Amino acid sequence: MIQTVRWLGAAVIATLREGSRAIGASWRSVPDTPGGPYDRAAFGWSSSLLRAARITVRVEGPGILSDRPVVFVANHISLLDIPALVVGLPPVPKFVMKKELLKVPIFGRAARAAGHIAIDRANRGAAFAAYDEAAGIVRRGRSALVFAEGTRSRSGKLLPFKKGPFVLAIAAHVPIVPVVVVGSYDLMPRLRLVPKPGEIILRIGSDIPTAGCRYDDRDTLSDLARKSMIDLGARV
């Protein structure tokens, strides 16, 4: 009961506090910069939730994190993935998320204010336009993060990949960096409302270059990313 109250209270308070900060910065036309108010709001929200749940995040793997823009391609196995990735991948990448998340009170408005990209997968034209928007953001120096499967896995196992993340990386002319989230499914699987305490590991893979790649190379890049994520410990 104590853990439930702590988690739910932290979720509400952090969403109201940090969401209001991001929305307020947007109303004041504050520009988005690495480490700026939008990044601080995202980091504050994420760290508050993880701290309340008594969850730590550890980053490991052969890949090297830096300030250069990339397209992170990650698996998606739990609601905890987003706060763990925000905390573990500073500066905060721009998430490419399904448009339904924009309907979440405060969170959705704050996410849009912070420049995260919503994808309408039911509308092919709108989805391509959103990926073009994301590519523009990456070309201006901010990294993007896309969940390769396009949805959260019910079993914790890797699902088939969507093509969008790889089209985005090709259009932005930046490397793909595979990221495998380990442990979050065991702490908070689908339908569980309150996470268990524990540790989430982010395993960072080596760069997959896109220099010279064209649209027709998207499947090859997808296969390379999938192999890398399996090698890093993604469940299959």
- 190, two tokens: 């689908």
Reading phi first (left if > 0) and then psi (alpha if -120 to 50, else beta), residue 61 is in left
DSSP-derived letter for residue 202 is: E
Per-residue pLDDT, averaged over 81-97, amounts to 92
Closest CA to 163 of 223, 233, 93: 223
- Give the HSE-up count for residue 9: Cα atoms under 13 Å, Cβ half-sphere: 8
Tens digits of residue pLDDT in 145-204: 999 998 899 999 999 999 989 999 999 999 999 999 999 999 999 888 899 999 999 999
Higher pLDDT, 84 or 111: 84
Please report the domains of the chain, with CATH numbers, ordered by start residue.
55-231 (3.40.1130.10)
- Using CB atoms within 10 A of its CB, is residue 151 exposed (0-12), middle (13-18) or buried (19+)? exposed
pLDDT of residue 128 exceeding 90, the answer is: no
Helices and strands counted in the chain (H then E): 8, 7
Among residues of the chain, what percentage have pLDDT more than 70? 96
Please report which helix (H) or strand (E) contains residue 60, including its range: strand 55-60
Give me the torsion for CA of 144, 234, 90, 207, rounded to 10°: -60
Closest CA to 115 of 137, 84, 98: 137
**Reported confidence tier of residue 133, pLDDT bands at 50, 70, 90:** confident
Compute the mean pLDDT over every residue in the chain, rounded to the nearest whole number.
90
Tens digits of residue pLDDT in 23-77: 898 899 898 888 999 999 999 999 999 999 999 999 999 888 888 999 999 999 9
Q: Are 79 and 188 in contact (CB under 8 A)?
A: yes
- 135, two tokens: 């590519």
pLDDT computed for residue 155 by the predictor? 93
β-sheet bridge partners, residue 67 = none
Closest CA to 228 of 86, 76, 75: 75
